[in-house]
Structure 1
Amino acid sequence: MKMITLSKSQEEVFKKLAVELSMSKLIEACNKSVDFSSLNSNEQLDVLKVTNAFYRSAEQIINDSTYDAFLSEFSTYNPDHPYLLTVEPEVLADSKTVPLPKKMLSTDKAYSFEEIKKWIDRLLKAAIEVGVSESEIQIKVTPKLDGYAAYDDGISLYTRGDGARGQDITRAFNKGLQVANNGDRGLGPGEIVIKKSYFDTVLSDKFENSRNIQAAIIAEKKVDESIQKAIDVGACVFFPFLSLENWIGHYTEILVDFESIVEKMWSAVDYDIDGVVLEVTNETLKEHMGATRHHHRWQIAFKVNAESAEVKVLNVTPQTSRTGRVTPVAELEPTKLSGATISRATVHHYNMVKTNGVGPGAIVQLVRSGLVIPKIEKVIKAVEPQLAKECPSCGTHLIWESDHLVCPNKTDCPAQTENTLVHFFKTLGNNDGFGPKVIEKLHEFGIKKIHEIYELKQESFVSFGFGDKTAQNLVEQLQVSRDVEIEDWRFLAAFGVSRLAGGNCEKLLQHHSLDSLFEATVEDLVQLDGFAQVSADAIVEGLANIKEEFLKLSALNFNLTITPKASEKSPGETPVFGKIIVFTGAMTQGSRGDMEKQAKALGAKVAKSVTGKTSLLVTGDKVGANKINAARDKGVQVLSELDYLALISTY
């Protein structure tokens, strides 16, 4: 293990702090050549202060897990020490500080599922005190970004400082820093972060870690050219917490499925994270629980002290998920890690297997990220990749879809049948009753095909355990799904063919009717705008797989509206024909979906985000000036909702 020493810049930071701890004792503690527990309380506190200062000035000397272990040791014997009860300060701020628009507290931390359960027990106790029903207790889980904390009030950007006062670093936005996902300013607290993929491929040779870059972005001096480029291409962003990917569900789901929820959020963003944050969503409960000077009681971070080992791969086994994606699972030489014997680990997707050379004989770095989730961090020794060719569930040959190998057999693959049924009714969206729970119950009684559901009578539902009234309602809802008008492209999309989501279905049906589509060849599809060879191959094969089931459903005479053919449209007919339109904001004259449908009927193409190819941005209420200005900078015409409606009023 490499011994820790202090660089010149770290020595300067150390001297500024004027702590009593000697530099040599600090180095010994960081290298663990002396046990942290053997230090007296003042020495422990100085170690915490110095290592925290190094971290906040982009001079990190120990990893997060080591700091957290030191902090835990100190808190055991000094539970009421002021250092633990307030936000860890940015002690080296050279610029003057200003009050934050809103306090930015730290987050309480947990390192085990048992601690999470205790936190939930506190939520339940508080709910009883304030009269909140258990049914109302929802938990939101988000990734815990490991960046530079800041607060954006829409006018200025501030560092977190000591939680009450921070520095004005609006200059970061003046340097071109963007809000993640082209979002609006003024969304409050967040983190300045850089994409992991960009750092690893472009900047890792030049910078030791991403915190060096984050510190440079907020500094007063001009940033390095390579950092400026990262800002310009949107690799460095300010990510508001409100915009983060999240999971929301009842607190009981956390207790039952905590591991998979954490794993999902752990890989939800392409940024460094050091845990996940759980918070209750009920405002009454949040207000009642309140906060300490250090953290909100209604929020907690689950963090991980990960251990790693180099392990040999014995085999790569494919597993088909409910959605048809085939997940590669590495069978490993049994290895003891964090007290558990690990013999299997997911390899995320088959492109990782392919590009990193994962197969029998490969050596991988295995990390057990808390709980029991083993994760392959990187490949140490690559070999010939072991790729699956056939679906392990049904034997159908697999196709590539982005990074994934998928099984295109949506109707007859045993692993996918339940999800196929759920997808059909969810996509139709014109009836109530056939949600996941009902489908799960039908699936348990051997219902595997969509047409089999439509053949069920009331007595069949009763025999499956549904009450008389529920059974009657389900039969009625099946009839509703056939009677209520829906678009033909939506009906086609409901079958879940690979690469045939709603947009592509609509494009195809502008050139082929539903009846003739199944006779279309790969060559026919490739000639259409937007369909490459790979997509055409997958679509033709997917259509062949669902043809029998489709014909059985089509015979039930669903009430379908027909997509206008491209040949029926003339460039001279409407003022928006052929234009790419983006609708944003809250519309007042109708739903955004209705306006998008109308625009398509007038020959326009509807997109979800503004690019240089966008023709029109139609704005409803509550649209930020930044989004409008960004569109205009790209040469996009911006119209209000009323101006747009006036434009198309005669068509």
Structure 2
Amino acid sequence: MSLADENVDEENPYLRDPPTEFEPVEELSEEAAREQVEQLREAIREHDRRYYVENDPIVADRTYDALFARLQELEDAFGLTHPDSPTRSVGGEPIDAFETVDHVEPMLSIDQSGEVEDVREFDSRVRREVGEVDYVCEPKFDGVSMEFVYEDGSLERAVTRGDGRAGDDVTRNARTIGSVPQKLHGDYPEFLAVRGEVYMPKDAFQAHNRERIERGEEPFANPRNATAGTIRQLDPSVVAERPLEVFYFDVLEASELEDSHREELERFPDWGLRVTDHIEVVDDIEDAIDYRDRMLEARDDLGYEIDGTVIKVDDRDAREELGRTARHDRYAFAYKFPARAEVTPIVDVAVQIGRTGRVTPVALLEPVDVGGVTVSRASLHNPEEIAEKNVNVGDTVRVQRAGDVIPYVEEVVEKDSEGHYELPDHCPVCDSAIERDGPMAFCTGGLACDAQLRRSIEYYASDDGLDLEGLGEKSVRQLVDAGLLESVADLYELEREELTALEGWGETSAENLLAEIEDAREPPLSDFLSALGIPHVGPTTARELAREFGTFEAFRETAETEPDSLEGVDDVGETVAEQIHEFFASEANAAAVDDVLEHVSPQESELESGGDELEGLTFVFTGSLEGLTRSEAQETVEAHGANATGSVSGNTDYLVVGENPGQTKRDDAEDNDVPIVDEDEFRELLAEEGIDLE
């Protein structure tokens, strides 16, 4: 198909062998700029169609980037932005929420089954009601279905499926997807509403998950979850950075309708709408069944996930006669694939860096069903185990779930690679050297490594640390990415204006977090020792160390100069003592601790037994208490036989609520029927047992 067939001006200088050097913007008149802008838009749309729809680009990527940058430069300089411009694909300002929009036509689900007899029954019903038919067979994409509405060829809106009658208006996000044309090509209808499937290509999904793991973020379970989570982002610039694509597969409504579905699909590429190459028209249901079986064999070779095939009546009049139920159109049927079970290939290996620098290799898998749960990654544990199992990228492996929770590679089922996977020599996050320690491997970057930094801050603020409610994984990542946290000590220099400038932070949440941090400037020694994240020093060991040494200075001096003396403390053996010594011997760790101590004064340990009046009770505290810190209250109840934990469960006896409490713990208490008491009620409860907080 020639460019002329697509109504594109062959004289456009930016179509074939376009220039990539341009005269300075300040030397252009507004009239010349407008003409160049129109030519660039027209050319870039054609290059997009060639790339996404025809898979036949006529310019190099570098040339395309130069044309795109020039268009953006001219639009910015002369105020020539337009909703249809290709530059809208770079995103825009975040929005507060999505508007709910009614669909042009209902987007119903499809009746489906994995049993062949159900497919034959569908065919019998169709032929019984409308006579002989042809079927259009298509892959059943495993993505997110959306409605795209074009008026006079321009993208008017893009809406998620929602409940089938109405969905979220995600137009600004959809404009960032390269295969969504802002303007249709050719001889398009004046009004066109089409149904498409937004998806993340498999290779792009694995690459994106690898990046997330190496940044210390939780990876997506499968491409569909990644797509759904992306398309509903409130910030279009985030969507623009993620690798989404679209296939179009149906007309919902149009000012000019074709007689058959196959004719519609044939017109889509002419309009710039991308369709799959795997479409077949058959006149017998057995051929449709054979098509499904062939697609099942080919699914692993496709660049996108499918979970079956869709069989549709081709003739539009027959479709109308068949009608629909309240839930699905009666002219279509999905013949599902069986779920992949336990055995799957390794696509890639990512390296995860833990809080202590421990390097954990993670296998990225073709998503597989393991015990009813979709798994797309599995632990390879350590280099020694990788060598023992002889595992590498490309091998087909059996995946199991340890304790029905953590997926791991059990064995290689089919060896399709040479040798076994080798860890990189340097950390993928900070480029520091990776060193072996027996069967384990560690990044030597310490707190200079962003992955360790994020996890260290998360742990410092966790229930096992200083229990800074409102500072979880997501918020820590946001603050680190915004440049507000470059060390643990930076927590104490956060300002309200910096927090409220971030997405999702209001005055109340900012003030609550700052109050939590302020309340943690004089923590009990045991809490502080645990919060530092010293290897093998959790809350219990930290409490024993606090009892033994009394002050942080005494503990640190012993750890640095006489580590053997630590072995006399309960829960501390030779290995733990050596780990504590090595922690403080690290210059990066020692400097980080010194920085924190400029803001924090750990309190001398006074945790002595006061009796067993509260034995058997479990307390959780939230918010700021008057006259004492939350940690002091925890130490008090523990000194009298109770347990003080950081999270509410069915075993909790009381949630004590102070000023500016966290909502999560209150919600958990209500869900578990845990009594909620304020500070006065807490003091009265202790007084009844003869315990005075003053």
TM norm structure 2: 0.36
TM norm structure 1: 0.38
